[in-house]
């Protein structure tokens, strides 16, 4: 099966870049499963029900998330009706939202989960223990398991990938918005990359308007961070994976593309 996984979609420019390029990538890769991290898609923080349905209307199958998934409160009453949107499995059991996305591809059971790291991140349950529990219970009969590991520290991400190598089909790092040059197959089985990157404005800092970020660094004062309202170019980061029906990843390729936005009509 062919799988496309897109890094954090940041704001309207990130959505514009993604939606503009998705038809081309569908023709090129013929994906059976399209996954995006959508936790920054609503003005850089959170997601809305309208954006959720736009993703699905354009052919996205699963939307992963992380520490910003609940930042836009509009989504909260809609979570029960958003089965393709998953929140990290290591939030407390009482936290709203769906933990596992499941589907059948050619008769093969496929699961996608989000897991959040602990290092330099908001308080959360241990990610290693959370996935171990899930593998022994809910995911026991799923040969294909794709994990979005939403974390800050590269050491924690690699440790997580090595710990679960051979037991899950892929560990794809998100959150830092900068693509790393280490896509590989771990233990001849698990597709891995420390961070897939983002979809967002190129002339920005991690997809956010630079002046506010610079003021925060220069003054140490709090600043509200938002994506720029316009840009001439965008970044599109993603990985393409081939995974067998037995759950073994045979290839993983990372792509970092610069998209000229002036050629597209922004809706």
Cα 237 to Cα 181: distance, rounded to the nearest angstrom = 12
Bridge partners of 5, per DSSP, are 35, 239
Residue 263 is predicted with a pLDDT of 63
pLDDT tens digit at each of 267 positions of the chain = 999 999 999 999 999 999 999 999 999 999 999 999 999 999 989 999 999 999 999 999 999 999 999 999 999 998 989 999 999 999 999 999 999 999 999 999 999 999 999 999 999 999 999 999 999 999 999 999 999 999 999 999 999 999 999 999 999 999 999 999 999 999 999 999 999 999 999 999 999 999 999 999 999 999 999 999 999 999 999 999 999 999 999 999 999 999 998 765 444
Phi, psi at residue 126, to the nearest 5°?
A: -60, 120
Which tokens go with 36?
């995006």
Residue pair 88/124 in contact (Cβ under 8 Å)? The answer is yes
Query: How does DSSP assign 204-226, residue by residue?
Result: SBTTB-HHHHHHHHHH-------
Q: Residue 75 and residue 98: Cα distance in Å, rounded?
A: 13
The residue range of the domain holding 115 is 2-263
Active site residues: 68
Q: What's 176's domain CATH number?
A: 3.60.21.10
* Whole-structure pTM value: 0.95
Q: Provide the CB-side half-sphere exposure for 217 (13 A, CA).
A: 6
Number of domains in the chain: 1
Asked if 71 contacts 122 with a C-beta cutoff of 8 angstroms, the reply is no
pLDDT at 264: 57
Euclidean distance between CA atoms 99 and 32, whole angstroms: 21
pLDDT confidence of residue 265: 47
> In the numeric block, which tokens belong to residue 96?
């709203």
Other Cβ atoms within 10 Å of 189 Cβ, number: 20
Phi, psi of 57 (to 5 degrees): -60, -30
**Residue 159: is it exposed, middle or buried by C-beta count within 10 angstroms (0-12/13-18/19+)?**
middle
Residue 106's pLDDT is 93
Which strands, in side-by-side order, build the sheet including 184-186?
Answer: 100-105, 108-116, 144-150, 170-174, 190-193, 184-186
Rg over alpha carbons for the chain, rounded to the nearest Å, is 17
Residues forming a β-bridge with 191: 170, 185
């Amino acid at each position: 099966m062919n799988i496309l996984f897109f890094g954090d979609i940041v704001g309207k420019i990130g959505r514009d870049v993604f939606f503009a390029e998705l038809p081309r990538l569908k023709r090129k890769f013929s994906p059976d499963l399209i996954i995006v991290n959508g936790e920054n898609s609503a003005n850089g923080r959170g997601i809305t029900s309208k954006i959720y349905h736009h993703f699905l209307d354009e052919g996205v199958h699963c939307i992963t998330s992380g520490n910003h998934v609940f930042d836009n409160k509009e989504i909260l009453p809609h979570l029960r009706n958003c089965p393709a949107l998953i929140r990290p499995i290591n939030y407390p059991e009482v936290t709203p939202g769906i933990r596992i996305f499941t589907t059948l591809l050619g008769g093969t059971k496929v699961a996608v989960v989000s897991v959040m790291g602990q290092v330099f991140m908001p308080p959360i349950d241990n990610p290693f223990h959370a996935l171990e529990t899930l593998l022994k219970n809910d995911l026991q009969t799923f040969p294909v398991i794709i994990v979005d590991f939403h974390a800050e520290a590269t050491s924690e991400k690699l440790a997580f990938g090595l710990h679960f190598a051979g037991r899950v089909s892929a560990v794809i790092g998100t959150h830092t918005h900068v693509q790393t040059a280490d896509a590989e197959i771990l233990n001849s089985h698990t597709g891995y990359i420390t961070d897939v990157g983002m979809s967002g404005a190129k002339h920005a800092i991690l997809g956010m308007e630079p002046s506010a970020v610079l003021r925060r660094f220069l003054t140490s004062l709090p600043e509200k961070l938002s994506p720029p309202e316009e840009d001439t170019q965008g970044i599109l980061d993603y990985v393409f994976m081939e995974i067998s029906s037995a759950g073994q990843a045979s290839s993983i390729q990372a792509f970092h593309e610069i998209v000229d936005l002036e050629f597209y009509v922004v809706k």
